[in-house]
Structure 1
Amino acid sequence: MGISSPGIGSGLDVNGIITKLMAVESQPLTALQNQTSSYQAKLSAYGSLSSALSTFQGTLTGLADLSKFQSYTATPSDTTVLTASAASNATVGNYALNITALAQAQSLTAAGQTSTSAAIGSGTSTTLTFAFGTTSGATFTQDATQADGTVTIDSSNNSLLGIRDAINAANIGVTATIVNDGSATPYRLQLTSATGANKSMTITAAGGGDATVSGLLSYNPASVQTMTQSAAAQDAALTVNGLAVLSPSNTVTTAIPGVTLNLAKIGSTSLTIGNDTASIQKSVQSFVDAYNSINSTIGKLTSYDPTTKQAGLLLGDFATQSIQTKLANILTTPLTGLGNTSITTLSQLGVSFQKDGSLSLDTGKLSTAIANNLSDIAGMFASIGRSTDSLVQYTSSTTATQPGNYAINVTQLAAQGNQAGNINLNAGITIGAANNALNLTLDGTSSSVTLTSGTYTAAQLAALVQSAINGNTAFSGAGSKVSVAIDSTSGFMTITSNRYGSASNVAVTNSSAGAALIGATTSTAGQDVAGTINGVAAGGSGQYLTGAIGSTTEGLKLLISGGAVGSRGTINFSSGYANNLNNYITAALNGGTISAQTAGITQSLADLAKQTTDMNARLATIQAGYQAQFTALDVLMGQLQTTSTYLTQQLAAISANTPK
């Protein structure tokens, strides 16, 4: 293996020559590197623009919420009596409130025990059934809307601690605790229901079981009461402008529409519901600030400083200019589809463009608009639909939904699935082991329930069946419920699904309770609403009509909650400025203007990277060639220099030996 030291033999600066030659050869590579740096800087600039647009879009999402512009304040004169809050469906007004009773839970206390961990009874499995309703004297009336709850006590949990934990784990609306009263048998189990007069409890043990357990934990106002009631269930009682109101909870949500009252004590106070104008002012100002932020970012990216001669990375960039122009066009185009309103532009709210492209807010003009046209302001920013029919309600829309005024025609109303019996139950019935099993399919889910034994009137029977079905975990887990009624004339029981549409069905199958309560009848399936929006057949699901794909109303979802078939008036739909901007930015960031530009730059960078790799490989080959050529030249010149030296020496020697 030879050792090469270019230039040593001849004195020729081979490396220096090659370096200078390669500098010339590398000029195209330098151009590629400069072009790559330029593209990377532009890609970074688009990243800054995308980030700013995303931040702006985040602000728009909040502004597109109708509740931002439908805010109310609820101010009581005495906050020690109650506090209050108002939702977007509240109404401005003044109310006089007088609270005469607070809602209270029922508390039942069992007989004292000497130990919390000692076994109670023999451990024989005992099922306790908890029912809920109202108590008047010795009469208990079960509430059909509340499901029964069951707890099983056996040898694994038949201590006071075990019973407490089993009841709490059952999650049936009863809280169990153990209190110590300091007596010789100090440990007492205490059961507490939720608040409200209809939360009064009965506790019964199924046939058989452990007599000690059932003897300790039985409570029925009409018969066995081995537990002691220490507090009766009661409703909160109050008057609103003199009108009597009862509530099962101290959080009252139904007395004043859209207003929640949190009762604290008995007493009187006034309550004022007013428009939350400060919140609306803040929302509009937030919109202006958010737009000005994106406008500032675009300004910096497209600026030019004549003093420093420094240009923004996106100066003259068509895509950036088109985005800025589109945003401004959206904000200066009057909205359509708002119906009968005098406000259709932002300038009418005091929002206007300045010479530098930013927005300014005239708070005085906005205050006037709030005072005179409060109900119209929400539609300026958020998607909103206004129907001329109170039973046709706008629910939602998509980016494909076009603003406009659309006629609604209903050809079929939604219906609930049900099964009606043919057995007269008006005389009541006794439920026992021979007729307590009810098998049914509800909204596509099949299961069985066991009815609590006892003798029931027609009303009590309807309540029993309804609570038993609704308490079944298979049905409740699937989000299904029923209502059960017995016709006062025929005595026939009807079980009706609470769901609407073709997915709604009730079918009682072969079972002892089915035969005793329903008989041999055919169930009736539910049906979906059907109709047209703007003359085009709409999709129907349950009570919801949805605009057809490809139509101007695509994605427009309406709730048809009742009424009749035929023409149902019109729906005025507007998407609002915040939604229009949000939709445009989504398109620009995902497959639109910015997405296309960044994809193009990314591809260009990939192409440049390949060219750079190819160029480096070519330069390496060229440099190797130069190295070989000049090394050979260096060797040849070295050899020539050696020969020259030898010849010079020989000539000198000849000259010296030649006689003169």
Structure 2
Amino acid sequence: MANISAPGIGSGLDVNAIVEAMMGVERIPLLRLEERKQNYEDQISGYGTLRSAVDSFKTAMDELASLDKFEIYKGTSSDDAVTTATADSNATAGSYQLTIDRLAEAHKMGSAGMVSATATFGGADAADALNITAGSSTFSIDTYNGGAGMTLAEIRDAINSHADNSSVSATIITGNNGDQQLSLTAKNSGFEERIQVNYSGAGNTSTLGLSTLNDDPNLPGTPMADLSKLDALFSVDGVTGITRASNSINDVIGGVSLELTGVGSSRIDIANDKDEVKNSIEGFVSGYNDLLTKIDQLSAINTGKLAGDSSLRRIISEFRSEINTAVSGGSLTMLSEVGVTTNKDTGKLELDETDFDTVMANNFADVAHLFGNATDGIAMRLADSADLMLQSSTGLIDIRSDGLKDSVKRLDNNILRMEALLENRENNYFKQYSTLDGLVSRMNSTGAYLVAQLSAMSNNNQ
């Protein structure tokens, strides 16, 4: 408010109150524009909520809109203590008999006997070194160490921190009297990951006793003369003598990953993962129902941001049309045939799990075709419809939202113009009523003067 005039000055006319009352009337059109703008912004927000809901539904449909979703397999074992199994989309349904004769192990070596914690190895010859090969790692430990040699603890630390070592872990085993033994363990199982040790120099590094372990099962460490036994040994469906370096195996049965856990026999069954498919169908039902709930909220009279908007009815109508249109090419053509029906009162979908499980058990391929058929499967059609609604600029949601945004821009311009007009009008009112205030003040002064003069004249005549 500009050019504020305080009441009581001049005639005592309350200019502020008069102008404020008049501007209250003048601002009514502006308030209506602002209310209309807020309404448009609420609708834009509502369309943002609608877009998010439709997008979430489309994501659920995309999960089912391909037969790949139904080509998911799971593996089960008759004895998890012997082996477990998982399967991917490259697997084939069937059963396999496994016999595990031997698990893969990591090679382990220990130094010969227990020695004092202060005993040193190497140091007599500048060429003294402990040379280790394991898996892809080959490295050397300089046990000369400037002539001081190295204790077992120092050798351990040097092995574990060596930049070229990725295959061996070293540790110290301490006995009751404090004496120690050096223990080496391969980080990976299998014969190819075995630890091989040799020594350089004329010092006493070789007295560690690690060099002969690969040949002598009586020395500390892995009691195996035949280190090939570090590999797992098993048979599948009568094919014997299969070996692998690891107990985690994914190259024996196509699309199946095995985890060997113990010695013994186990049957592996590979079948369609019907539980996973059922979860996806339940996701479809709940996704559709969540969308309906959100649309109900947006269209609610008095509280819904899109109340009365015909776009909501159009969206629901399109989705319901796709749901109720038969799918060709299979023995199952309608959702109702797999236990998915529409509640007549709410319009939401309901899943009869008993009916669905029965159909899944007896007619899995046609259930897959009903939902995942790339030509006219229900999920594909719904995903396509949702995609069209979500298209940038050309989709139903963006067309309505962009139109509202344009309306807001126009209203912003109108509001700016009207605010400028009202500011000028308010200034003019202040000028007019301030002038009136001065005029009335002068008239009052003149009147008071005349009254005083007349009174004086009357007194003189008496």
TM-score scaled to structure 1, two decimals? 0.57
Question: Do the aligned residues in 2 keep the contact of 1:120 with 1:160 (CA within 8 Å)?
Answer: no
The equivalent residue for 1:644 is: 447
Question: Do the aligned residues in 2 keep the contact of 1:215 with 1:226 (CA within 8 Å)?
Answer: no
The equivalent residue for 1:246 is: 243
1:611 aligns with 2:414: yes
| Alignment size in residue pairs | 444
1:358 aligns with 2:348: yes
Q: CA deviation at 1:596?
A: 4.2
TM-score scaled to structure 2, two decimals? 0.77
Question: Do the aligned residues in 2 keep the contact of 1:69 with 1:280 (CA within 8 Å)?
Answer: yes
CA change 1:179–1:230 in 2 (3 A) is: farther
CA change 1:151–1:335 in 2 (3 A) is: farther
Q: Aligned ranges for residues 147-186 of structure 1 at < 5 Å?
A: 148-154=136-142, 155=145, 160-169=152-161, 170-180=164-174, 186=180
Residue-by-residue CA offset, 1:626-657 (whole Å, 9 max, x unaligned): 11211111111111111112112222332343
Question: Do the aligned residues in 2 keep the contact of 1:94 with 1:273 (CA within 8 Å)?
Answer: yes
Residue-by-residue CA offset, 1:433-456 (whole Å, 9 max, x unaligned): xxxxxxxxxxxxxxxxxxxxxxxx
Question: Do the aligned residues in 2 keep the contact of 1:73 with 1:273 (CA within 8 Å)?
Answer: yes
1 or 2, which has the higher helix percentage?
2
Q: CA deviation at 1:293?
A: 0.7
Give the distance between the partners of 1:212 and 1:65, measured in 2 at CA: 69
Q: CA deviation at 1:43?
A: 2.2
Question: Do the aligned residues in 2 keep the contact of 1:181 with 1:188 (CA within 8 Å)?
Answer: no
Residue-by-residue CA offset, 1:537-572 (whole Å, 9 max, x unaligned): xxxxxxxxxxxxxxxxxxxxxxxxxxxxxxxxxxxx
Q: CA deviation at 1:204?
A: 5.0
The equivalent residue for 1:190 is: 184
The equivalent residue for 2:383 is: 581
Give the distance between the partners of 2:248 and 2:82, measured in 1 at CA: 12
The equivalent residue for 1:115 is: 117
The one-letter code matched in structure 2 to 1:324 is: I
CA change 1:214–1:618 in 2 (3 A) is: farther
Question: Do the aligned residues in 1 keep the contact of 2:11 with 2:444 (CA within 8 Å)?
Answer: yes
1:28 aligns with 2:29: yes
Question: Do the aligned residues in 1 keep the contact of 2:191 with 2:230 (CA within 8 Å)?
Answer: yes
The one-letter code matched in structure 2 to 1:247 is: R
Give the distance between the partners of 2:368 and 2:264, measured in 1 at CA: 37
The one-letter code matched in structure 2 to 1:45 is: G
The equivalent residue for 1:548 is: none
Give the distance between the partners of 1:72 and 1:361, measured in 2 at CA: 23
Give the distance between the partners of 1:590 and 1:175, measured in 2 at CA: 57
The equivalent residue for 1:236 is: 232
Question: Do the aligned residues in 2 keep the contact of 1:117 with 1:159 (CA within 8 Å)?
Answer: yes
The one-letter code matched in structure 1 to 2:233 is: A
The equivalent residue for 2:44 is: 43
- RMSD of aligned Cα (Å): 4.2
The equivalent residue for 1:283 is: 280
Q: CA deviation at 1:250?
A: 2.8
Residue-by-residue CA offset, 1:221-275 (whole Å, 9 max, x unaligned): 699x999753444333334444424333333444544444433333334444444
Runs of 5+ unmatched residues, structure 1:
133-147, 305-309, 385-402, 405-573
CA change 1:273–1:3 in 2 (3 A) is: closer
Give the distance between the partners of 1:116 and 1:617, measured in 2 at CA: 93
The equivalent residue for 1:505 is: none
CA change 1:16–1:120 in 2 (3 A) is: same
Give the distance between the partners of 1:3 and 1:88, measured in 2 at CA: 80
Residue-by-residue CA offset, 1:353-403 (whole Å, 9 max, x unaligned): 454543233445533442344245446556x8xxxxxxxxxxxxxxxxxx5
Give the distance between the partners of 1:358 and 1:649, measured in 2 at CA: 91
The one-letter code matched in structure 2 to 1:230 is: P
Give the distance between the partners of 2:204 and 2:261, measured in 1 at CA: 41
Secondary structure of 1:115 counterpart: coil
Q: CA deviation at 1:123?
A: 6.2
The one-letter code matched in structure 2 to 1:639 is: R
Q: CA deviation at 1:39?
A: 1.5
Secondary structure of 2:305 counterpart: coil
Secondary structure of 1:279 counterpart: helix
Question: Do the aligned residues in 2 keep the contact of 1:7 with 1:14 (CA within 8 Å)?
Answer: no
Give the distance between the partners of 2:90 and 2:293, measured in 1 at CA: 38
Question: Do the aligned residues in 2 keep the contact of 1:123 with 1:158 (CA within 8 Å)?
Answer: no
1 or 2, which has the higher strand percentage?
1
The equivalent residue for 1:367 is: 357
Give the distance between the partners of 2:396 and 2:369, measured in 1 at CA: 28
Secondary structure of 1:230 counterpart: coil
Give the distance between the partners of 1:322 and 1:162, measured in 2 at CA: 78
Q: CA deviation at 1:327?
A: 3.5
Q: Aligned ranges for residues 182-581 of structure 1 at < 5 Å?
A: 186-192=180-186, 194-203=188-197, 213=205, 216=208, 218=211, 229-231=222-224, 232=227, 233-244=229-240, 245-304=242-301, 310=302, 312-332=304-324, 342=331, 346=335, 348-355=337-344, 356-375=346-365, 377-378=367-368, 381=371, 577=379, 581=383
Question: Do the aligned residues in 2 keep the contact of 1:178 with 1:188 (CA within 8 Å)?
Answer: yes
Runs of 5+ unmatched residues, structure 2:
none
Residue-by-residue CA offset, 1:466-507 (whole Å, 9 max, x unaligned): xxxxxxxxxxxxxxxxxxxxxxxxxxxxxxxxxxxxxxxxxx
The one-letter code matched in structure 2 to 1:115 is: A
Choose 1 or 2 for highest CA Rg: 2
CA change 1:110–1:24 in 2 (3 A) is: same
The one-letter code matched in structure 2 to 1:12 is: L
CA change 1:363–1:109 in 2 (3 A) is: same
Secondary structure of 2:223 counterpart: strand
Secondary structure of 1:246 counterpart: strand
